[in-house]
Amino acid sequence: MTATAIPRTSPSASSTDLSVGTSTLALLGETDRLLPFNPAVLAVRWATTMVCVTLSATAFIERDYTVIPWVMGMVANTVVRTFSPLSYTGTTRSLLDLLLEVGLTVLAVCLTGFWASPLVFTLLVAAIIAGFARGFAFGIRVSSASAITVSLTNLYADSWDEAALLICARWSTVLILIGIVAGYARRISGEANRQHTLALDRLSRLADANALLSNLHRVAQTLPASLDLNEVLDSTLARLRGLVKTDSAIILTREDTDGTWTVARKQAMAVTGSLLTEQLPRPAQAALTGRRVLRHPDLSTVGPGFNAGSQAAIYAPLIARGSLVGLLGVESRNAEEFTERDREVLQGFIEPVSLAIDNARWFARIKTVSADEERTRIARDLHDSIGQSLAYLGFEVDRIVKREDEGEPISDQLEDLRRDLRGVVGEVRDTLYDLRTDVGADKDFAETMGEFAGRVAERTGMEIAIHVSADNSTRLPILQEREMWRIAQEALINCERHADAERVDITWHCAAIGAQLEVTDNGRGFTPVRAGRVDSYGIRGMRERASSVGATFEITSAPGEGTTVRCILARS
């Protein structure tokens, strides 16, 4: 029998281009150095204003209009600065604004009684703003200049006696100390901001690396060993034990093709293998649904954790590029073990971990379709198709030689051996031809599949029907189409070698929104979770190829009911 190709139909949707990730652009501009301190400045400004109003009560009672207008002006200035805070960006304009406010404050104090003025506490605001804006040196200079100006005008207006000198010295010391404290606070804040900036910069680099890998994962390259998934998982578990005190911990990775969860690393956990989402602990499912870190101080009220004896747990979804890539969980037999602080620590821990794991997984997918993996696949194909035949020929030669030694005629046996040898030569030729068969710029999926299916049908007698709905204008990018073809080829080879099928239907649909491949046979089928070694290897290879191009993969089978392999790729 031969393969039958059903005519193509052209979908109406137009093709779309693959989106290419772009790097993040940082917009640089002037930075308001007072912005982080606005809450503190506002609190001090209102506190000193209230003190000044209180000290001005006598002036209001006595209707002293040399004081009242300045007090009202200071209150008005505080209200304005509440809604429009003073800013300092390092420009000449912002420096003049700052010095103007300091100058008006000093003028108000000098005109309303010098150090005895009810507005004297507003000088503290001026010193604090100066220190916050430009640090120690500027804060000390502004404080000293303000203190000297008020002191000299006070001494000039009154007297240079000991009491006046003592008052000037006390207030000057207070102002200078305030300037020093403000400058020191700015320095501490600056160091904290630098640490925060370094952390954000590291996270940004991880995000850039993630975007790069997700867009170039189809290209086989040699990348640093630090992207090894095992190394990332081991490092994550080690750091996790150092961050949170816990009896047991687990890291699960999510399979993109079927949504299952694989236990990648664990500590004192009994669970192994792969789990469906509904098999996860209920609190872990809630964390995945809400995509947030959840702390459960009493697991007895919501269901058991991964370990039956656990009383408290924290579950954290690992998210990269907006998609779930894994789940991190820690559990304890002590119901009071985990605090809100532990939850917050994990909240800050999971984002870089998620990116690192996702990067390593993309790298692993790249290696899956690399030359080493191809050599392994070719070696397996040669072993499965030719190795047994060559072994048989070797046994036959030994048997013929033994018969000749015993004096028995061997002409018939030699004729059989020659016929078998010709069969092996043909098998080698077919295998090498199959290995060379591939899609290309001038040969699309349907044409390649038709040729290959025809050879399979000729040598096996299977009836193979190919259903195509695509045209050249809606072809996938060559790397994606090649991996989809390899999946179809592997599925058909499995039908030939293991399914004992009489008919195979291959459906290929390619449109602007994506592509769908389906290979269905009427063979003996199998239970997927109990597939043998050879079947499991083939299924694993198809699954990895689907992951390498971002496709979903599923296989449906049951004993006596045949097998269906389905792979769906959405264009990005």
Q: Can you give the pLDDT at residue 284?
A: 92
- Report the half-sphere exposure of 231 (CA within 13 A, side-chain side): 10
Q: Can you give the pLDDT at residue 379?
A: 61
What is the C-alpha separation between 143 and 191, in angstroms, rounded?
A: 24
Q: Which of 69, 81, 169 is nearest to 119 (CA)?
A: 69
Start-end of H helices in 13-121:
38-55, 57-61, 68-83, 92-111
CATH superfamily membership of 437-572: Histidine kinase-like ATPase, C-terminal domain (3.30.565.10)
Burial 269-296 (b: 16+ CB within 10 A, else e): bebeeebeeeebbebbbebbeeeebbbb
Q: Can you give the pLDDT at residue 23?
A: 34
Q: Can you give the pLDDT at residue 370?
A: 54
Residue type present at position 307: N
Q: Can you give the pLDDT at residue 36?
A: 79
Give the CA angle between residues 195, 197, 199 to the nearest 5°.
70
Q: Can you give the pLDDT at residue 11?
A: 42
Q: Can you give the pLDDT at residue 24?
A: 32
pLDDT, tens digit, for every residue of 496-506?
A: 888 889 999 99
What is the C-alpha separation between 306 and 509, in angstroms, rounded?
A: 42
10 Å Cβ neighbour count for 100? 11
pLDDT in tens, the chain (572 residues): 455 555 454 443 333 333 333 333 333 345 777 787 788 888 888 888 888 888 888 888 888 888 888 889 888 988 888 888 888 888 888 888 888 888 888 888 888 888 888 888 888 888 888 877 777 678 788 888 888 888 888 777 766 777 777 878 888 788 788 778 777 777 776 655 665 566 666 676 676 566 545 544 433 333 344 567 888 888 888 888 888 888 899 999 998 778 889 999 999 888 888 899 999 999 999 999 999 999 988 888 888 889 888 999 999 999 988 889 999 999 998 888 888 888 888 888 888 888 888 888 887 776 665 555 555 556 665 555 566 666 666 667 777 777 777 677 777 767 776 777 766 666 666 666 666 667 777 788 888 889 888 888 988 889 999 999 876 667 888 878 888 988 998 899 889 888 889 999 999 999 888 899 999 999 998 887 544 444 466 788 788 888 878 899 999 998 999 999 999 998 76
Q: Can you give the pLDDT at residue 331?
A: 92
- Packed helices 122-134 and 38-55: angle between N→C axes, nearest 10 degrees: 160
CATH superfamily membership of 225-356: GAF domain (3.30.450.40)
- Cα 315 versus chain centre, distance: 17
Q: Which of 86, 83, 82 is nearest to 104 (CA)?
A: 86
